[in-house]
Amino acid sequence: MLATSTSVSPRRRELDFQLFDVLEIDKLLATPHFAEHDRATLDAILDAAYEIAGDYFAPLAAELDAFDYKLDNGNVATPARLKTAVRAFIDAGFMGASFLADDGGLQLPSTLSSAAGLVFAAANGSANSYAFLTVGAAHLLAAFGDDEQRERWMKPMIEGRYFGTMALSEAQAGSALAEVQTKAVPAADGTYRLSGNKMWISAAEHDLSENIVNLVLAKLPDAPPGVKGISLFIVPKFLVDADGTIGERNDVVVTGLNHKLGQRGVVNTVLTFGETGECVGYLVGKPHDGMRQMFHMMNEARISVGAGAASLSIAAYEYSLQYAKDRPQGRLPSDKNPLSPQVAIVEHPDVRRMLLEQKAIAEGGLALVLYCAHLVDIAAASTDDAERRNAELLVDVLTPVAKTWPSERGIVSTSLAIQVLGGYGYSPEYPVERHFRDQRLNPIHEGTTGIQGLDLLGRKVRLADGAGVTLLVAAMRADIAAARAHAALAEECDRLSEMTTLLPDVTKTLLQAQIELGPDRALTEATAYLDAFGTVVVAWRWLVMATRAAAAAADDFNSGKLAACRYFYRYELRQTKASLEHLAMLDDSIASVRTEML
């Protein structure tokens, strides 16, 4: 296009390296499940993502961030340029990229649709959220909706005519969804009438689509207590006739908008159901099965949150890198001549440190989330039962890690991007302060970091008698063996090799403690465990990247991979070793503190 297109992160070579050199996703194309695609198609699809993200998403990011959403008689208007951007995304067919051909999708590898999603998220996370929520909601109906529900609600979402939301939280029920109070009462016609309120619901009101399909957690009158009493309902903004004609407005209204630190470009609402007793809902699947169904989407959503976090880090890293190359400031300590030309700030060692740290986090996070997406593809495409089950188990175990590590480290990383720009970085004139504010949501939504820690240590590493960690360690050992072919990677191989013993040992100790000391005490340091676990996994992904780089031409790109890998091992993994050793001591510094002492 001739229109001035904004450059978009990640750099294309980075994404190509991750997809085709590290994960070798072209090999998937040999499986019958993905046989419709070839490498040229995948390249062209990424070209389209970069083009639309550069032409429409990136130039809109600052404007959308500053846009003040207003509630006007229950309606929320969005900026005109957002409509154009979203339309370009839909017209190109990105909404249906990850769906099965039978559902009207393109059946692309999840790794590729995730990579395209990363490009859109890096360009404009808020604009991308509208699509991301819709895709998640449609995936849920693809898995659990009946034929009629799929036809009436899912297909229009894949076509981009309807958008979707996830309505879980309530004012009194955030992390503890068992406390949900929204009620659903059966009506004579087989549908349900909902009443109650939901909080923090993104994209539940806007003018970007013909209809909005809210997927709502609520309780039936005979619901057992706790999460086992939660059911899932489709609650559309507009009712739809059997022939697909849009009918009356449903009794679900936005009663308030929430204003936030970041992700300001996506409208966030307070929803009220059944003010006049006429809020129609449709049960998805069986009664009381809502949590299980919602968690099907939630796992996908959690990996996507991690992907969004990685994309923000990479956008901030690449922006601050370019800035550091362009900004002249000061001289090296050895240069005492005030008349000599100033150096670009990238020449200063401390700036290089901040860039290297960002590179290690951003590209490491990218590698982690794309690896998880690749596991989803293996699970979908493999004809070998054991291989499929293993891939599914690894995805289960890695979901809290992929959600949290890029999010938490992303706060550090985007903060460093601001630091590289100095005072300018702290001002809204430059995008890195937006990246930082947007990043801050990621450790909170779709399950906080604390919840993810409990999920990993309290549940995921115990799945299948702890087979997940065993599988993970075996995969690491295989990659260490391959990396040994490169003498330059000997140090990294040794350090990771040590972790393949230490991580399972510490895991065993903490699992034993759950039996001996009880879960309350043994899970005290679940978050620290999650962080250490994540750093070991990312170190492994860095070793795989470095192995590919070591085998390729010694150009700047590949040398950069080797340097960032070394940095990660010497500065990050070393600390993780200490953390793991500390975890094994079952320290009571946290457990022994009473509330009154704080």
Q: So which residues are the catalytic ones?
A: 446
Look at residues 551, 493, 484 and name the one whose alpha carbon lies nearest to residue 17: 551
Q: What angle do CA 93, 95, 96 make, to 5 degrees?
A: 75
Q: Which residues pair with 195 in a beta bridge?
A: 183
Q: Which residues pair with 230 in a beta bridge?
A: 219
CB 65 within 8 A of CB 126: yes
Specify the residue for token string 């008698």. Answer: 465
Q: What angle do CA 79, 83, 86 make, to 5 degrees?
A: 130
CB 389 within 8 A of CB 375: no
Give 38 or 384: the residue with its C-beta nearer to other proteins.
38
CB 52 within 8 A of CB 131: no
> Nearest approach, Cβ of 86 to other proteins (angstroms)?
13
For residue 250, give both structure tokens: 């449903």
Q: What is the DSSP letter of 485?
A: T
CB 119 within 8 A of CB 50: yes
> Nearest approach, Cβ of 76 to other proteins (angstroms)?
27
Three-state secondary structure call for residue 117: helix
The two beta strands, 246-249 and 238-240, are antiparallel
Look at residues 469, 501, 479, 483 and name the one whose alpha carbon lies nearest to residue 577: 501
> Nearest approach, Cβ of 332 to other proteins (angstroms)?
28
CB 356 within 8 A of CB 260: no
Give 90 or 432: the residue with its C-beta nearer to other proteins.
90
Give 5 or 419: the residue with its C-beta nearer to other proteins.
5
> Nearest approach, Cβ of 60 to other proteins (angstroms)?
16
For residue 426, give both structure tokens: 């702290």
> Nearest approach, Cβ of 335 to other proteins (angstroms)?
28
Could you check whether the bond before residue 10 is cis, i.e. omega within 30 degrees of 0? yes
Residues that bind other proteins (CB under 8 A): 1-2, 36-38, 40-41, 43-45, 47-48, 51-52, 88, 91-94, 96-97, 106, 108
Give 34 or 569: the residue with its C-beta nearer to other proteins.
34
> Nearest approach, Cβ of 24 to other proteins (angstroms)?
20
DSSP codes joined into one string, 169-186? -BTTBSS-GGG---EEEE
Three-state secondary structure call for residue 585: coil
Give 90 or 457: the residue with its C-beta nearer to other proteins.
90
> Nearest approach, Cβ of 344 to other proteins (angstroms)?
19
Q: Does residue 31 come out as left (phi exceeding 0), alpha (psi in the -120 to 50 range) or beta?
A: beta
Give 84 or 181: the residue with its C-beta nearer to other proteins.
84
Give 95 or 240: the residue with its C-beta nearer to other proteins.
95
Cβ atoms within 10 Å of 232's Cβ, excluding its own: 30
> Nearest approach, Cβ of 97 to other proteins (angstroms)?
6
Look at residues 146, 185, 181 and name the one whose alpha carbon lies nearest to residue 167: 181
For residue 191, give both structure tokens: 């549908």
Give 91 or 148: the residue with its C-beta nearer to other proteins.
91
Q: What is the DSSP letter of 153?
A: I
Residues in the chain: 598
Distance of CA 292 to the CA centre of its chain: 20
